[in-house]
Amino acid sequence: MKSKFSLLILISALALLALCGIQAYLIGNTYELKKTAFMEEADRAVSELSNERILDSLYDELIEEDLENHLVDYLNNRITKRQAVERFFRKADALNEQFLPRFKELVSDLDLSYELNYSYDLERIVLIDFPETDTIFARREGERKQMFGERMENGEARVINSSRTYDTNQYIKTNGDEITTSSYDFEVRSRQLIQVPGWKTIVLKRMWVLIVGSIILFLFVIGLLYYSIKNLITQKKIAEVKTDFINNVTHELKTPLATLGIATKSLRNEAIKNNPEAFDNTLGIVERQNSRLQKLIDQVLTNSLSAEELQLNKEQVSDNTFFKDLLFDFETATQHSDLKVINAVYEPEVLLRIDRFHLTTALLNILENAVKYGKESVEIKVETAVQNGQYTITISDNGIGISEKDQKAIFDKFYRAGDSNVHNVKGLGLGLYFTHQIITAHDGTIRLQSKEGKGTTFSIKLPI
């Protein structure tokens, strides 16, 4: 049964993990689709801006006029590569001051719900076959050289277009007093990038219905699984408790029934019939066993009542008198060779309003358990005090103690600590349950402290 229960929990956990995996996969796919759709939306917006003639005209001015003049100066050894590049970017910065206001105006007209950054970057400038390939500028790894747009410091940037421009130009070459006409080929590589700050947050916001719905569904499934397993454990526990109770009742009933069977057979014996003393002894056995059976039945019926079902007949009682009578009756009735009861009841008289019969029953259940589960030498201390307007009763013993596992269920109906199938100590598991119900019916509380091998302490608080 235990292995099947564990297998069921394992299968449920695996099913839950599989559901989590499927849900995560679907959310991941949806995220990728939303991301792609968002990026395409941003690309289209930039494409509309790129179609503006202002960008083409500024690019043509920068490349076909400014750059070509710098390359001619470089080829005639009037400037270095570095100077040619510096002059190129100075011109680019000047033209960008014309481009940026127009670009921002166009972005504003699109009425986007997010910020959009744009950059037109230079990748490389190369002179081809003059007399061999000569690289004028090449962007280094991690470096970005911006011609137009806004500088992008941090965050992810998306390349939306890469382009190459080829051109052949003639120029006047001077070599001392000699003037000749020559030509050169050059290539310019560039790329356009966009950046949407916080685009991941934007994409996730567009998925919030799916994400929230998935979380709610996931929590619902977890809650349902937890509730089902908890109910299953409870039902399993109830079934075990019922089985233990039936076994305990069966065990408790066997002895008096067997004794009654033997006694009734003995009463039919002629020798017993003809001996008045033996007949009376046997009849006494029948009466005692019958009384025992009746007590067992009454215990099951009466001790099964809950706090709400108990009808209390409260009366005003002196605590000193009550505990004096209680402990005297307990010591008198208890058959134990080495029992010591310490009476540490609060000396000034306190008047309690209690149901004398039920509270006596509750305290006797605790005292009798101290003897049942005690050692060879039993010592019980009953101490009372008045604290914060409450009457505190503390019953301590030096017995075998109660394990932490059993302490959690010690006040449950039909529960018996330890192995329920070992009946070294007789009982039905109703005593402490009934004690708890009686204390609760008196608007009080009962707590337990115990360590195995070091005894047990019950603390009861009652209103004065």
- Output the CA torsion sign for 187, 188, 189, 192: negative
CATH architecture of the domain covering 208-302: Orthogonal Bundle (1.10)
Question: What pLDDT shows up at residue 362?
Answer: 86
Q: Which of 152, 147, 150 is nearest to 165 (CA)?
A: 147
What's the CA gap between 50 and 367, in Å, rounded? 93
CATH 1.10.287.130 range(s) for the chain read 208-302
Question: What pLDDT shows up at residue 422?
Answer: 38
In degrees and rounded to multiples of 5, residue 160 shows phi and psi of: -105, -15
Question: What pLDDT shows up at residue 423?
Answer: 41
- Domain 315-463 fold is Heat Shock Protein 90 (3.30.565)
Q: How far is CA 193 from CA 38, 46, 88, 125, in A?
A: 15, 9, 20, 19
CA count, 13 A, side-chain hemisphere, 31: 14
- What are 14-38's pLDDT values in tens digits? 888 888 888 888 888 888 888 888 8
What's the CA gap between 291 and 78, in Å, rounded? 128
Question: What pLDDT shows up at residue 391?
Answer: 92
Question: What pLDDT shows up at residue 420?
Answer: 43
Q: Are 418 and 406 in contact (CB under 8 A)?
A: yes
What's the CA gap between 27 and 36, in Å, rounded? 14
What's the CA gap between 127 and 405, in Å, rounded? 86
CATH 3.30.565.10 range(s) for the chain read 315-463
Per-residue tens of pLDDT for the chain, all 464 residues: 566 777 777 887 888 888 888 888 888 888 888 888 888 888 777 776 666 677 778 888 888 788 888 888 888 888 998 898 889 999 988 888 888 888 888 778 777 778 888 888 889 999 886 667 888 898 887 676 888 888 776 567 788 888 888 888 888 887 777 778 888 888 999 888 888 887 888 888 888 888 888 888 888 888 888 888 888 877 877 776 677 666 666 656 666 777 778 778 877 787 777 788 877 777 777 777 777 677 667 656 655 556 667 778 889 999 888 888 888 878 877 777 788 888 888 888 889 999 888 888 888 888 888 888 888 888 899 999 998 889 999 999 988 888 887 877 787 776 666 554 434 455 566 778 888 888 998 989 999 888 888 889 999 999 88
What's the chain's Rg over C-alpha atoms? Answer: 48
Locus of tokens 């605790």: 366
Asked whether the whole model's pTM tops 0.85, one would answer: no
Q: Which of 199, 88, 82, 108 is nearest to 148 (CA)?
A: 88
